[in-house]
Structure formats: structure tokens, C-alpha cells
A and B are shown apart, each in its own frame.
Chain A
Amino acid sequence: GAVVSQHPSWVICKSGTSVKIECRSLDFQATTMFWYRQFPKQSLMLMATSNEGSKATYEQGVEKDKFLINHASLTLSTLTVTSAHPEDSSFYICSAAGGTTSTDTQYFGPGTRLTVL
């Protein structure tokens, strides 16, 4: 149990376009979802925390107008990178929490590799 999926697994886009990444909890209801960004050989950096039905809370330095987060249901959150630029190229990972009774551990998706040309 506790499976989190992401779609797409990788995407290549042109500079200036927008890209949407989906994060789904497949077998549990996630009251909270988190979005992380990871650059090569570095650790995960939290971008924002998303609670179902409310606005996301962004970490300092993360532009909320650039990284749009929607958490419309207990099983789906989306991250849209608007007007993407090469510096936005990174590995984007979501996690979900709140659906298991034995633990409220965050379970991570497989990640989405974004390359902006």
C-alpha cells in the first residue's frame, strides 16, 4: 500500500512554455501533499505544502506565481511550472501523507525530470 504516482515521469519543453505535473496517491487519501525540487547530486528542497481544498504554502524563495499548485482532491495534486526556463530544469518530486493509520509517514512519488531547452 501507500503508492504515490507522478505523471509524466519526464518531460522536455521549450523555454517559455508551461508544464503540468500530476501527483496521485493511488491507494490512500492524502490530506497533505508536498512538492520538492532536487538538483543533481543535491538533497531535496521543499517547494510548497499543499492541503486539499486550500491554498498551498510556499517556502521562502519559491515564486507562487511561477509554480502553481492545485490540490483539488484527496488523491490528486498538480504542479504547473509556468513560463519555464532552463534554470527550472530539475527533478520534481511529490510526497503524500495522511492516509495510513499506522503512521503518517510521507510517501514519495517516483519524480518527474523536467528539461527546459
Chain B
Amino acid sequence: GESVGLHLPTLSVQEGDNSIINCAYSNSASDYFIWYKQESGKGPQFIIDIRSNMDKRQGQRVTVLLNKTVKHLSLQIAATQPGDSAVYFCAEALSGNTPLVFGKGTRLSVIA
């Protein structure tokens, strides 16, 4: 289930299940959206990105969905594995070379 911790919301899923991490972005003019994965003590790792002229993009085991009407972004991870445990951040920008604005992050905890 999903719960709100002191600082980061946490999503706990069973290994093998699908995960859905949600993000509400703030700027309707944002053109570029990215999901990053951050493991403890490391820098963010690029997962997948999407531009505003698309509503869905698929990668390996991941899918990003963009709903511009309600300014909502989601990351779907298929067949979640223990190695997927990390904090996931969405980020938005006006373009790829403009500053990113990061969301607060969601901690994904995979239960083996």
C-alpha cells in the first residue's frame, strides 16, 4: 500500500507485482519530464523521459504516462524486483537544457 512518511511517501510492493508511482507537476508550460531513480548515497539515475507531445512512452520494464490535462505523471514498473527499491523522483523542465524542478520523491520498497 501507499503511506506518507515523515518526509517521503512510501510505496511497498511485493516482488513480481507491478508498481505505479505517481507525480503531480506544477508548470503547465513544462515540455519535458523525466523519472530518476536514486539509491541511497548515490546520484540520480536516469530511467525514462517523455516530452509533452506524447502521452505514453515505454522502456525496458518501465512505462511513463503523461496526462497534461491534470498535470499528472506516472511511472509504471513491471514485475518489480528487489533491485528496484530506491527513491524515485519525477522532474519537469521547459526543455532539456533548462533547470529541472524535482518533485518530492517516492520511496519504493520491494518486499521479497
Contact = CB atoms under 8 A, between A and B. Distances in A.
Interface of A: 4, 6, 31-32, 34, 41-46, 49, 59, 93, 95, 97-98, 103-111, 113
Interface of B is mostly: loop
A49 B99 CA distance: 7
A20 B102 CA distance: 25
B6 A41 contact: yes
Contact of B96 (A45, A59, A103, A113): A103
Q: A-B pairs with the 10 shortest C-beta distances?
A: A104-B96, A41-B7, A108-B43, A111-B43, A43-B102, A110-B43, A108-B44, A44-B102, A97-B97, A93-B43
Contacts, number: 58
B99 A34 contact: yes
Given A43-B89, A44-B89, A104-B96, A109 B43 contact: yes
Given A44-B102, A105-B49, A109-B43, 14 more contacts: A31-B97, A32-B97, A34-B99, A41-B8, A43-B89, A44-B100, A45-B102, A97-B97, A106-B100, A107-B46, A108-B43, A110-B43, A111-B41, A111-B43
